[in-house]
Each structure stands twice: as C-alpha cells, then as structure tokens.
Amino acid sequence: MKLIFATHNPGKLIEMQALLSDLDIEVQSAYDLGLEEPIEDGKTLEENSLIKARYVSEKIGEWAVADDTGIFIKALDGAPGIRCSRWFDGDKAKYTLDKMKDVPVGERQAYFETVSALVSPEGKEWIFRGKIDGTISLKAIGKSRPKLPYDLVFIPDGEKRTFSEMTDEEKNQISHRGIAFRKLREFLEKI
C-alpha cells in the first residue's frame, strides 16, 4: 500500500514513517511528490486535516493522510490553537515564552491536540484524534526538531522533560500525534 502524507514538515514525516515502519506501507510526503500545500482555511483541526488529505488524494489518486495539530495554552485563552504554525513568523518558542513571562508556574497549563484524516482514493474519510495535557516550561529546553518549535517548551503531564528533551521513540509513545497515528495504524492494519 502507498500512503501519501500531506505534509511539507520533515519532522512530522519522520514520526509517521517511524510509527508505520513495520507495516507493508510505503509512506511518501506531498513535498517529495512536488505538491504544493493547500490553503488551510478551516475553523477546526478536523477541517484543516481534511482539506489537506482530500487535496492530496484527489491530485495523486492514492490513499492520503494529513494531520493538523494545535497547542492550546490556557493562560493565553487557548492561543495559538489551530493557528500555531501561523501564530508568529519567527522563533515561536521564544515568542510563546515572552507572551507568558508573567504567568506563574501553577498557571501554565496547555494541551496539544492532533486530528489526523485519512482519505481513500474513492473519497471515503476517517478521523483519528490524539490529545495530551501538560504545561509550558519557563524556558526553551532541549534540541529543536525540524518545524516542531513548541516541543522546546511543552512538558507533558507526568514528565519533567520537554518533548525536545526526549528521544523520538519516547515522544512518540506519549505524544498527541503518536496517539492519533497509533489509532490510524490500528485502522490500517485491518484494511
């Protein structure tokens, strides 16, 4: 089976390939196939993931998967939310920390949510969700992954480390995207 991941984000592609590595599925990215990114003008994570997956499936005629992820910070009234990749054009981790400089330790709750959409060549659609609660750190910690800036400042509940301090395998075991992709994987194993 060929599965086209509607992403131009190498960090996301690496996570997807790792989670599906032992299945008989070839995962390619929309970027590798030269597809441009569609405009994400949905009002929800689900709408945006469906926009991307539908676009790729229609263009290539293959199974397509897309995800949309948001980080929702309580002290910032849920910002950046579904706009996290477009919230600030620059160092997003630093910008987030600057916005929260006066927020005390006990009030830095946040959660990451991923919605993954799978679209078949025939146009059938499935949705898979993953969510993880945590807090925003006081400073950026760890090694930055490509296009995953919030990993530097997000500490999952039950952890003392940011996502950026974890190995890819550790992060994938507990992350929002890992949860959604494992649900996707369980579905793909059955078809």
Range of the domain at 76: 2-190
Is residue 68 annotated as a catalytic residue, yes or no? yes
Q: In the structure, what pLDDT confidence band is assigned to residue 176 with cuts at 50, 70 and 90?
A: very high
Q: Is the peptide bond before 146 cis (omega within 30 degrees of 0)?
A: no
pLDDT score for 15: 80
pLDDT at 11 over 90: no
pLDDT at site 91:
94
Q: For the chain, how many structural domains are there in total? A: 1
CATH number at residue 59: 3.90.950.10
What is the spatial distance between Cα 24 and Cα 58, in angstroms, rounded to a whole number?
A: 23
d(CA 166, CA 152) in angstroms, rounded, equals 10
pTM score of the predicted model? 0.91
Q: Which of 22, 32, 41, 68 is catalytic?
A: 68
Residue 116 CB coordination number (10 Å):
27
Residue 183 has pLDDT above 90, yes or no: yes
Strands 80-81 and 2-5: what pairing? Answer: unpaired
Q: What is the pLDDT of residues 135-162, one digit of tens each?
A: 999 999 999 888 889 999 999 999 999 9
pLDDT of residue 18: 84
Averaged pLDDT, 104-132: 97
Give whole-number Cα distances, 164 to 40, 56, 101, 125, in Å.
Answer: 26, 30, 20, 32
Residue 114 clears pLDDT 90, i.e. is over it: yes
User: Taking residues 7-35, what's their average pLDDT?
Assistant: 89
